[in-house]
Amino acid sequence: MWKIERFPALWILPALLPVAAFTIFPIAHAFWTSLHQVSLLFPIVEFVGLDNYVGVITGEYFVRALKNSLLFTVSAAPAVVVLGTAVALFLKREFFGVEVLRSLVLLPWVLPGAISAVLWVWVFNPSWGVINSVLRDLGLIHSEIPWLTQPNLAFFSVTVAHVWTQIPFTVILMMATLSTLNPELMEAATIDGATRLQRLRFIVLPHVKSIAVVLLIYNALTAFTSYDLVYAMTGGGPGTATTLLAFQIWKESFSMYDFGAGAAVTFIVVAISGLLIVAITRALPSGIFKDA
């Protein structure tokens, strides 16, 4: 690798500047707006300090939405990582049709949230959804299970749908990590008489541990900031059972036209995400930037 003394601006900046413009400016902008009264209803912009934050935090939905978002995060993120790792381990094997299966596993990743939402309404709809129909045909239930209309079940249903959309990315990173595992190590362990379970426990899992932590935090981040899928499935209901913090931003800004309050929620979300991002940089294997 060669050294250049000067920063190669012409090579780097065309990629770096647009990304910076679409990240740093919006965050700064949200911060500024959150400290001002910016509303379509009152056209005068004025500095109000932390009033927006106080107003939002003491508002009737904030605590509920924050609780929902946190619960959503701690249930979805580990599920994605555990299931994704299991699928990745399975897909590393060679068997008839595995190539096709590996491609198909990516499908949920490509689908826009609105489409995934419709697919899962198909599954969970209380009156004609597949789960209830099958259970009814098998004679296991006599009344409908209210998957999308009872608060806890609705929460469960949207979590399953969200996990479904997030698994592909985890599978890919996990498979990439598994492929860096030294095959000689596995062979040596096999020769030494290690069972499959022991090899998993003592060689494979320690090998993927650090990337699993990264994925866990990453998935916490996506769950904490997700919006479209859950909203399209339940509209945040029943009541406020599936109202997440991310569409609280939407509601404040675009249906109440109180951009100051919307920005305050935004900045709270950004601050919590910021903590998670710092956690990711700590958890990343230290070698990753060395010769990147």
Partner 1 sequence: MRNARGYGSGILTAIGAFLVLFFTVGPIVLAIAGSVIPDRIMFASDRGLFDEVTLENYRYIFTGEVPPAYLKSGANRTMISDAARQAPRSLWNSAQIASAALVINLLLGAPAAFVYARYLFPGKRWTFMFLLLAPLVPTIALITPIYMMLQTAGLVGSKLGIILVHSVKALPFTVLILSIFFRKMPHELFEAAVIDGCSRVQEFTRIAVPLALPALAATGLFAFMLSYAEFMFAMVLSGEASSRPASVVMAALARNPDVSWSLLNTAIVIAILPTIVLVTLVWRYVLADLVRGAVKG
Applying CB under 8 A, among 98, 140, 200, 275 the residue interacting with partner 1 is 98
Tokens for 262?
Answer: 């919307």
Select from 170, 165, 69 the least CA-distant residue to 114.
165
Site for partner 1 in 203-242 (CB under 8 A): 218, 221, 224-225, 227-228, 232
CB of 58 vs partner 1, minimal distance in Å = 22
Binding mask 26-65 for partner 1 (x = CB under 8 A): xx-xx--x--------------------------------
Tokens for 190?
Answer: 């096999």
Length of the chain: 292
The answer to the question of residue 262 lying near partner 1 (CB under 8 A) is yes
User: Using CA atoms, how far apart are residues 278 and 201, in angstroms rounded to an integer?
Assistant: 29
User: Using CA atoms, how far apart are residues 283 and 278, in angstroms rounded to an integer?
Assistant: 9
The answer to the question of residue 280 lying near partner 1 (CB under 8 A) is yes
User: Using CA atoms, how far apart are residues 179 and 90, in angstroms rounded to an integer?
Assistant: 13
CB of 87 vs partner 1, minimal distance in Å = 6
User: Using CA atoms, how far apart are residues 247 and 249, in angstroms rounded to an integer?
Assistant: 5
Applying CB under 8 A, among 2, 41, 139, 286 the residue interacting with partner 1 is 2
Site for partner 1 in 107-146 (CB under 8 A): 107-120, 122-123, 128, 130
- In the three-class reduction of DSSP (H, G, I as helix; E, B as strand; rest coil), residue 274 is classed as helix
Which residues, in sequence order, are CB contacts of 234 under 8 Å at separation 6+?
Answer: 148, 154, 157, 158, 241, 242
The answer to the question of residue 164 lying near partner 1 (CB under 8 A) is yes
By CB under 8 A, how many residues form the interface with partner 1?
92
Stretch that binds partner 1, among 83-91, 138-146, 150-158, 197-205 (CB under 8 A): 83-91
Applying CB under 8 A, among 77, 215, 241, 249 the residue interacting with partner 1 is 249
